Copies of this chain bind each other. A is one copy, B any other.
Amino acid sequence: MIHIERRESFSAAHQLFNPNWSEEQNDAVFGKCANRAYHGHNFLVTVVVKGEVNPDTGFVMNLVDLKELMMTYIIEPVDHKNLNVDVLMLKGQLPSTENLAIAFWKAIVDRISTFGATLHCIRIQETDKNAVEYFGE
Protein backbone atom coordinates (compact mmCIF):
# COMPACT_ATOMS: atom_id res chain seq x y z
CA MET A 1 0.00 0.00 0.00
CA ILE A 2 1.46 3.32 -1.06
CA HIS A 3 0.12 6.86 -1.55
CA ILE A 4 0.58 8.87 -4.74
CA GLU A 5 -0.54 12.44 -5.25
CA ARG A 6 -1.05 14.92 -8.06
CA ARG A 7 -1.48 18.66 -7.72
CA GLU A 8 -3.33 20.97 -10.12
CA SER A 9 -4.49 24.58 -9.75
CA PHE A 10 -7.43 26.73 -10.72
CA SER A 11 -8.47 30.36 -10.35
CA ALA A 12 -12.01 31.29 -9.37
CA ALA A 13 -14.19 33.97 -7.84
CA HIS A 14 -16.47 33.35 -4.89
CA GLN A 15 -18.37 34.97 -2.05
CA LEU A 16 -19.40 33.63 1.34
CA PHE A 17 -22.98 34.77 1.92
CA ASN A 18 -25.83 32.80 3.51
CA PRO A 19 -29.07 33.79 1.78
CA ASN A 20 -31.10 32.80 4.86
CA TRP A 21 -29.37 35.46 6.95
CA SER A 22 -29.61 39.24 7.06
CA GLU A 23 -26.89 41.35 5.45
CA GLU A 24 -25.67 42.32 8.92
CA GLN A 25 -25.36 38.72 10.04
CA ASN A 26 -23.44 37.83 6.87
CA ASP A 27 -21.03 40.71 7.39
CA ALA A 28 -20.56 39.78 11.05
CA VAL A 29 -19.74 36.13 10.30
CA PHE A 30 -18.01 36.27 6.91
CA GLY A 31 -16.42 39.74 7.08
CA LYS A 32 -14.71 40.79 3.87
CA CYS A 33 -15.39 37.32 2.38
CA ALA A 34 -19.04 38.43 2.08
CA ASN A 35 -18.16 41.23 -0.38
CA ARG A 36 -21.27 41.48 -2.61
CA ALA A 37 -19.24 41.87 -5.83
CA TYR A 38 -17.14 38.74 -5.06
CA HIS A 39 -13.40 38.23 -4.54
CA GLY A 40 -11.22 35.32 -5.74
CA HIS A 41 -8.26 33.01 -5.27
CA ASN A 42 -5.76 30.74 -6.97
CA PHE A 43 -6.66 27.36 -5.48
CA LEU A 44 -4.25 24.40 -5.38
CA VAL A 45 -5.93 20.99 -5.40
CA THR A 46 -4.03 17.84 -4.43
CA VAL A 47 -5.63 14.43 -4.94
CA VAL A 48 -4.06 11.58 -2.92
CA VAL A 49 -4.73 8.04 -4.11
CA LYS A 50 -3.64 4.80 -2.41
CA GLY A 51 -3.20 1.25 -3.62
CA GLU A 52 -0.78 -1.56 -4.34
CA VAL A 53 2.14 -1.11 -6.74
CA ASN A 54 1.56 -2.91 -10.04
CA PRO A 55 4.78 -4.85 -10.70
CA ASP A 56 4.52 -4.40 -14.48
CA THR A 57 4.42 -0.59 -14.33
CA GLY A 58 5.82 0.31 -10.92
CA PHE A 59 2.67 2.46 -10.54
CA VAL A 60 -0.24 2.56 -8.10
CA MET A 61 -2.09 4.28 -10.92
CA ASN A 62 -0.81 5.99 -14.04
CA LEU A 63 -0.49 9.71 -13.25
CA VAL A 64 -1.58 10.47 -16.80
CA ASP A 65 -4.96 8.92 -15.94
CA LEU A 66 -5.14 10.71 -12.60
CA LYS A 67 -4.35 14.02 -14.29
CA GLU A 68 -7.05 13.45 -16.88
CA LEU A 69 -9.65 12.65 -14.21
CA MET A 70 -8.68 15.76 -12.27
CA MET A 71 -8.81 18.01 -15.33
CA THR A 72 -12.19 16.70 -16.51
CA TYR A 73 -14.10 16.35 -13.24
CA ILE A 74 -12.42 18.86 -10.91
CA ILE A 75 -10.47 21.60 -12.69
CA GLU A 76 -12.49 22.35 -15.84
CA PRO A 77 -15.80 22.75 -13.96
CA VAL A 78 -14.33 25.45 -11.68
CA ASP A 79 -11.36 27.10 -13.46
CA HIS A 80 -11.93 30.76 -14.30
CA LYS A 81 -15.45 30.40 -12.95
CA ASN A 82 -17.55 32.02 -10.23
CA LEU A 83 -18.14 29.32 -7.61
CA ASN A 84 -21.46 30.88 -6.51
CA VAL A 85 -22.91 31.18 -9.98
CA ASP A 86 -21.28 28.94 -12.57
CA VAL A 87 -20.62 25.60 -10.84
CA LEU A 88 -23.18 22.82 -10.88
CA MET A 89 -21.54 20.61 -8.25
CA LEU A 90 -21.79 23.44 -5.69
CA LYS A 91 -25.43 24.28 -6.40
CA GLY A 92 -27.30 25.14 -3.22
CA GLN A 93 -24.18 25.18 -1.08
CA LEU A 94 -21.96 27.87 0.38
CA PRO A 95 -18.71 27.70 -1.65
CA SER A 96 -16.42 27.38 1.38
CA THR A 97 -13.18 25.46 0.90
CA GLU A 98 -14.64 22.69 3.10
CA ASN A 99 -17.68 22.26 0.83
CA LEU A 100 -15.47 22.45 -2.23
CA ALA A 101 -13.31 19.57 -0.95
CA ILE A 102 -16.39 17.41 -0.31
CA ALA A 103 -17.75 18.19 -3.80
CA PHE A 104 -14.42 17.27 -5.40
CA TRP A 105 -14.35 14.01 -3.43
CA LYS A 106 -17.79 13.01 -4.72
CA ALA A 107 -16.82 13.97 -8.26
CA ILE A 108 -13.97 11.49 -8.53
CA VAL A 109 -14.17 8.84 -5.77
CA ASP A 110 -15.91 6.24 -7.94
CA ARG A 111 -13.87 7.07 -11.01
CA ILE A 112 -10.61 6.45 -9.12
CA SER A 113 -11.92 3.01 -8.13
CA THR A 114 -12.30 1.99 -11.77
CA PHE A 115 -8.50 2.22 -12.03
CA GLY A 116 -8.03 -0.29 -9.19
CA ALA A 117 -6.96 2.38 -6.69
CA THR A 118 -8.67 4.13 -3.77
CA LEU A 119 -9.16 7.86 -3.20
CA HIS A 120 -7.45 8.78 0.07
CA CYS A 121 -7.62 12.59 0.41
CA ILE A 122 -8.62 15.82 -1.30
CA ARG A 123 -6.46 18.75 -0.20
CA ILE A 124 -7.31 22.32 -1.23
CA GLN A 125 -4.99 25.22 -0.51
CA GLU A 126 -6.95 28.48 -0.80
CA THR A 127 -4.08 30.77 0.10
CA ASP A 128 -0.49 30.34 1.32
CA LYS A 129 -1.92 30.21 4.82
CA ASN A 130 -5.27 28.37 4.60
CA ALA A 131 -5.98 24.80 3.55
CA VAL A 132 -8.49 21.99 3.96
CA GLU A 133 -8.12 18.19 3.81
CA TYR A 134 -11.02 15.77 3.40
CA PHE A 135 -10.70 11.98 3.83
CA GLY A 136 -14.23 11.02 2.83
CA GLU A 137 -15.97 10.51 6.14
Contact = CB atoms under 8 A, between A and B. Distances in A.
B6 A82 contact: no
A64 to B, nearest CB: 6
B39 A2 contact: no
Interface in A14-54: 14, 16, 18, 20-21, 29-33, 35, 37-42, 48, 53
Interface of A: 1-9, 11-14, 16, 18, 20-21, 29-33, 35, 37-42, 48, 53, 56-60, 62-64, 79-82, 85-86, 93-99, 101-102, 127-135, 137
The 6 closest A-B pairs by CB, nearest first: A40-B40, A58-B96, A58-B94, A37-B82, A32-B80, A13-B13
